[in-house]
Amino acid sequence: MADPRISIIEERLRNIKHIIAVSSGKGGVGKSLVASMLALILARKGFNVGLFDLDFTSPSTHLILGVEGLMPEEDKGVIPPLTNGIKYMSITYYSGKNVSPLRGSDISNALIELLAITRWNSLDYLIIDMPPGISDSTLDLLRLVRRVKFLIVTSPSKLAFETVRKLIALLREMNFPIIGLIENMDMKGSPYIREMAERLRINYLGSIPFDFALEDALGDVNALLKTKFSESLMKIVDEIYN
Protein backbone atom coordinates (compact mmCIF):
# COMPACT_ATOMS: atom_id res chain seq x y z
CA MET A 1 0.00 0.00 0.00
CA ALA A 2 2.58 2.57 1.06
CA ASP A 3 6.15 3.09 2.08
CA PRO A 4 5.69 4.47 5.60
CA ARG A 5 9.15 6.03 5.67
CA ILE A 6 8.21 8.71 3.14
CA SER A 7 5.55 10.11 5.48
CA ILE A 8 8.00 10.95 8.25
CA ILE A 9 10.73 12.66 6.22
CA GLU A 10 9.21 16.14 6.35
CA GLU A 11 8.81 15.84 10.11
CA ARG A 12 12.47 14.83 10.47
CA LEU A 13 13.61 17.93 8.57
CA ARG A 14 11.10 20.31 10.11
CA ASN A 15 13.48 22.21 12.38
CA ILE A 16 16.15 22.82 9.78
CA LYS A 17 16.17 26.42 8.52
CA HIS A 18 18.13 25.96 5.29
CA ILE A 19 18.78 22.76 3.35
CA ILE A 20 21.56 23.23 0.80
CA ALA A 21 22.56 20.59 -1.75
CA VAL A 22 26.06 21.03 -3.20
CA SER A 23 25.66 19.67 -6.69
CA SER A 24 27.08 19.60 -10.21
CA GLY A 25 26.36 17.91 -13.49
CA LYS A 26 30.01 16.86 -13.54
CA GLY A 27 32.10 14.60 -11.33
CA GLY A 28 35.37 15.58 -9.71
CA VAL A 29 34.81 19.35 -9.72
CA GLY A 30 35.11 19.75 -5.94
CA LYS A 31 31.57 19.24 -4.61
CA SER A 32 32.73 17.23 -1.61
CA LEU A 33 35.47 19.74 -0.78
CA VAL A 34 33.05 22.65 -1.07
CA ALA A 35 30.33 20.88 0.97
CA SER A 36 32.72 19.85 3.75
CA MET A 37 34.47 23.21 3.99
CA LEU A 38 31.21 25.12 3.76
CA ALA A 39 29.86 23.13 6.70
CA LEU A 40 33.06 23.77 8.61
CA ILE A 41 33.12 27.50 7.88
CA LEU A 42 29.47 27.94 8.87
CA ALA A 43 30.04 25.95 12.06
CA ARG A 44 33.04 28.16 12.93
CA LYS A 45 30.79 31.19 12.47
CA GLY A 46 28.64 29.79 15.26
CA PHE A 47 25.81 28.30 13.23
CA ASN A 48 24.25 24.97 14.03
CA VAL A 49 25.29 22.89 11.03
CA GLY A 50 24.68 19.38 9.72
CA LEU A 51 26.53 17.64 6.89
CA PHE A 52 24.98 14.69 5.08
CA ASP A 53 27.09 12.71 2.61
CA LEU A 54 24.68 11.47 -0.03
CA ASP A 55 27.32 9.97 -2.27
CA PHE A 56 26.58 6.44 -1.08
CA THR A 57 28.71 4.57 -3.59
CA SER A 58 31.75 6.88 -3.38
CA PRO A 59 31.57 8.80 -0.11
CA SER A 60 34.50 11.13 0.60
CA THR A 61 33.57 13.80 3.14
CA HIS A 62 34.71 11.57 6.03
CA LEU A 63 38.19 11.52 4.50
CA ILE A 64 38.23 15.28 3.94
CA LEU A 65 37.21 16.00 7.53
CA GLY A 66 39.27 13.16 8.99
CA VAL A 67 36.27 11.54 10.67
CA GLU A 68 37.27 8.35 12.44
CA GLY A 69 35.90 6.17 15.21
CA LEU A 70 32.54 7.92 15.43
CA MET A 71 29.17 6.18 15.50
CA PRO A 72 25.65 7.67 15.65
CA GLU A 73 23.85 7.29 18.94
CA GLU A 74 20.53 5.49 18.90
CA ASP A 75 17.62 7.30 20.45
CA LYS A 76 14.25 6.85 18.77
CA GLY A 77 16.22 6.95 15.54
CA VAL A 78 19.85 7.78 14.96
CA ILE A 79 21.54 10.96 16.13
CA PRO A 80 24.42 12.16 13.94
CA PRO A 81 27.56 12.53 16.06
CA LEU A 82 29.48 15.80 16.24
CA THR A 83 32.77 16.24 14.46
CA ASN A 84 34.47 19.66 14.46
CA GLY A 85 31.19 21.23 15.55
CA ILE A 86 29.25 19.64 12.65
CA LYS A 87 26.48 17.06 13.03
CA TYR A 88 27.76 14.55 10.55
CA MET A 89 25.94 11.70 8.78
CA SER A 90 27.41 9.26 6.31
CA ILE A 91 26.77 5.72 5.14
CA THR A 92 30.39 4.96 6.05
CA TYR A 93 29.41 4.59 9.73
CA TYR A 94 27.79 1.35 8.64
CA SER A 95 29.62 0.31 5.49
CA GLY A 96 33.12 1.07 6.79
CA LYS A 97 35.73 0.51 4.13
CA ASN A 98 33.58 -2.03 2.28
CA VAL A 99 32.41 -1.31 -1.23
CA SER A 100 28.69 -0.49 -1.61
CA PRO A 101 27.76 -1.57 -5.14
CA LEU A 102 24.26 -0.10 -5.27
CA ARG A 103 21.89 0.24 -8.19
CA GLY A 104 19.52 3.17 -8.56
CA SER A 105 16.63 1.63 -6.64
CA ASP A 106 19.00 0.65 -3.81
CA ILE A 107 20.34 4.19 -3.67
CA SER A 108 16.78 5.51 -3.41
CA ASN A 109 15.96 3.05 -0.68
CA ALA A 110 19.07 3.84 1.35
CA LEU A 111 18.38 7.56 0.97
CA ILE A 112 14.78 7.20 2.14
CA GLU A 113 15.93 5.05 5.06
CA LEU A 114 18.49 7.59 6.27
CA LEU A 115 16.13 10.54 5.82
CA ALA A 116 13.48 8.67 7.81
CA ILE A 117 15.61 7.60 10.75
CA THR A 118 18.11 10.45 11.18
CA ARG A 119 17.21 12.95 13.87
CA TRP A 120 18.99 16.19 13.07
CA ASN A 121 16.85 18.15 15.54
CA SER A 122 17.30 21.87 15.00
CA LEU A 123 19.84 23.16 12.53
CA ASP A 124 20.52 26.48 10.86
CA TYR A 125 22.02 24.70 7.84
CA LEU A 126 21.99 21.17 6.54
CA ILE A 127 24.64 20.83 3.83
CA ILE A 128 24.24 17.86 1.50
CA ASP A 129 27.16 16.51 -0.52
CA MET A 130 25.63 15.15 -3.71
CA PRO A 131 26.98 12.50 -6.06
CA PRO A 132 27.79 13.80 -9.55
CA GLY A 133 25.20 14.15 -12.26
CA ILE A 134 21.45 14.24 -12.43
CA SER A 135 20.26 10.77 -11.61
CA ASP A 136 18.71 8.87 -8.74
CA SER A 137 19.97 10.85 -5.75
CA THR A 138 19.20 14.21 -7.33
CA LEU A 139 15.75 13.13 -8.46
CA ASP A 140 15.01 11.60 -5.06
CA LEU A 141 16.09 14.75 -3.29
CA LEU A 142 13.80 16.81 -5.53
CA ARG A 143 10.96 14.40 -4.83
CA LEU A 144 11.41 14.01 -1.09
CA VAL A 145 12.89 17.28 0.14
CA ARG A 146 10.85 20.05 -1.44
CA ARG A 147 12.67 22.79 0.50
CA VAL A 148 16.14 22.05 -0.82
CA LYS A 149 18.19 24.88 -2.38
CA PHE A 150 21.11 24.26 -4.71
CA LEU A 151 24.67 25.47 -4.62
CA ILE A 152 26.25 24.50 -7.91
CA VAL A 153 29.94 23.80 -8.44
CA THR A 154 31.72 23.79 -11.79
CA SER A 155 35.30 23.68 -12.96
CA PRO A 156 36.44 26.30 -15.53
CA SER A 157 35.98 23.77 -18.34
CA LYS A 158 33.26 24.00 -20.99
CA LEU A 159 32.77 20.29 -20.49
CA ALA A 160 31.81 20.84 -16.87
CA PHE A 161 29.74 23.89 -17.60
CA GLU A 162 27.65 22.18 -20.28
CA THR A 163 26.55 19.55 -17.72
CA VAL A 164 25.87 22.30 -15.19
CA ARG A 165 23.71 24.09 -17.74
CA LYS A 166 21.48 21.01 -17.89
CA LEU A 167 21.27 20.80 -14.12
CA ILE A 168 20.26 24.47 -13.99
CA ALA A 169 17.60 23.90 -16.66
CA LEU A 170 16.13 21.00 -14.67
CA LEU A 171 16.09 22.91 -11.38
CA ARG A 172 14.46 25.92 -13.03
CA GLU A 173 11.87 23.81 -14.74
CA MET A 174 10.98 22.28 -11.39
CA ASN A 175 11.13 25.62 -9.54
CA PHE A 176 13.93 24.79 -7.12
CA PRO A 177 15.96 27.77 -5.90
CA ILE A 178 19.59 28.05 -6.99
CA ILE A 179 21.80 29.94 -4.56
CA GLY A 180 24.49 30.39 -7.17
CA LEU A 181 27.49 29.01 -8.98
CA ILE A 182 31.00 28.45 -7.62
CA GLU A 183 33.86 28.11 -10.09
CA ASN A 184 36.45 25.75 -8.62
CA MET A 185 40.01 24.80 -9.66
CA ASP A 186 40.56 28.08 -11.48
CA MET A 187 44.00 28.21 -13.12
CA LYS A 188 43.86 30.89 -15.78
CA GLY A 189 41.39 33.46 -14.50
CA SER A 190 39.33 33.06 -17.69
CA PRO A 191 36.05 35.02 -17.65
CA TYR A 192 34.20 32.20 -19.46
CA ILE A 193 32.21 30.78 -16.52
CA ARG A 194 31.37 34.22 -15.12
CA GLU A 195 30.06 35.30 -18.49
CA MET A 196 28.04 32.14 -18.93
CA ALA A 197 26.56 32.60 -15.47
CA GLU A 198 25.57 36.15 -16.32
CA ARG A 199 24.00 35.02 -19.55
CA LEU A 200 21.94 32.42 -17.69
CA ARG A 201 21.18 34.94 -14.94
CA ILE A 202 22.75 32.67 -12.34
CA ASN A 203 24.41 34.27 -9.37
CA TYR A 204 28.19 33.85 -9.90
CA LEU A 205 29.45 33.54 -6.34
CA GLY A 206 33.16 33.57 -7.05
CA SER A 207 36.07 31.39 -7.95
CA ILE A 208 38.41 29.15 -6.00
CA PRO A 209 41.94 28.75 -7.39
CA PHE A 210 43.54 25.40 -8.05
CA ASP A 211 45.40 24.87 -4.79
CA PHE A 212 48.45 22.61 -4.80
CA ALA A 213 48.51 22.61 -0.99
CA LEU A 214 45.05 21.10 -0.71
CA GLU A 215 46.03 17.44 -1.09
CA ASP A 216 48.37 17.48 1.91
CA ALA A 217 45.74 19.15 4.07
CA LEU A 218 43.04 16.52 3.46
CA GLY A 219 41.92 14.89 6.69
CA ASP A 220 43.27 17.71 8.86
CA VAL A 221 40.65 20.34 9.50
CA ASN A 222 43.02 22.96 10.90
CA ALA A 223 45.34 22.62 7.93
CA LEU A 224 42.37 22.79 5.53
CA LEU A 225 41.17 26.01 7.10
CA LYS A 226 44.55 27.59 6.32
CA THR A 227 44.49 26.77 2.59
CA LYS A 228 43.84 29.17 -0.29
CA PHE A 229 40.83 27.01 -1.07
CA SER A 230 39.37 27.78 2.32
CA GLU A 231 40.24 31.47 2.13
CA SER A 232 38.40 31.81 -1.19
CA LEU A 233 35.41 29.85 0.05
CA MET A 234 35.19 32.06 3.14
CA LYS A 235 34.94 35.11 0.85
CA ILE A 236 32.17 33.38 -1.07
CA VAL A 237 30.32 32.55 2.14
CA ASP A 238 30.51 36.21 3.19
CA GLU A 239 29.24 37.12 -0.26
CA ILE A 240 26.20 34.88 0.18
CA TYR A 241 25.40 36.71 3.40
CA ASN A 242 25.59 40.23 2.01
Among 47, 63, 85, 109, binds another protein (CB under 8 A): 109
Nearer to ligand ATP by Cβ, of 28 and 191: the residue is: 28
The angle subtended at Cα 101 by Cα 95 and Cα 102, nearest 5°, is 95
CB-side neighbour CA atoms (13 Å) of 10: 7
Residue 1 binding: pick among Mg ion, ligand ATP, another protein, none (C-beta 5-8 Å cut-off by kind): another protein
> Using the rule CB under 8 A, which residue among 45, 104, 113, 122 binds another protein?
113
Among 18, 63, 77, 85, binds another protein (CB under 8 A): 77
DSSP tag of 98: S
Q: Is 186 left (phi over 0), alpha (psi -120 to 50) or beta?
A: beta
Note whether 32 binds Mg ion by CB under 5 A: yes
Residues 159-188 that bind ligand ATP (CB under 6 A): 184-185
Pairwise CA distance, residues 130 & 52, whole Å: 9
When asked if residue 31 is in the footprint of Mg ion (CB under 5 A), the reply is: yes
122-141: which residues touch ligand ATP (CB under 6 A)? 131-132
Helices (H), 54-213: 61-64, 92-95, 104-117, 136-144, 158-173, 192-199
Among 58, 22, 222, 34, CA closest to 138: 22
The residues that touch ligand ATP, with contacts defined as CB under 6 A, are 24, 27-33, 55, 58, 60, 131-132, 184-185, 208, 210-211, 214-215, 218, 229
Residues that bind another protein (CB under 8 A): 1-8, 11, 56, 74-78, 91, 94-96, 98-103, 106-107, 109-110, 113-114, 116-117, 119
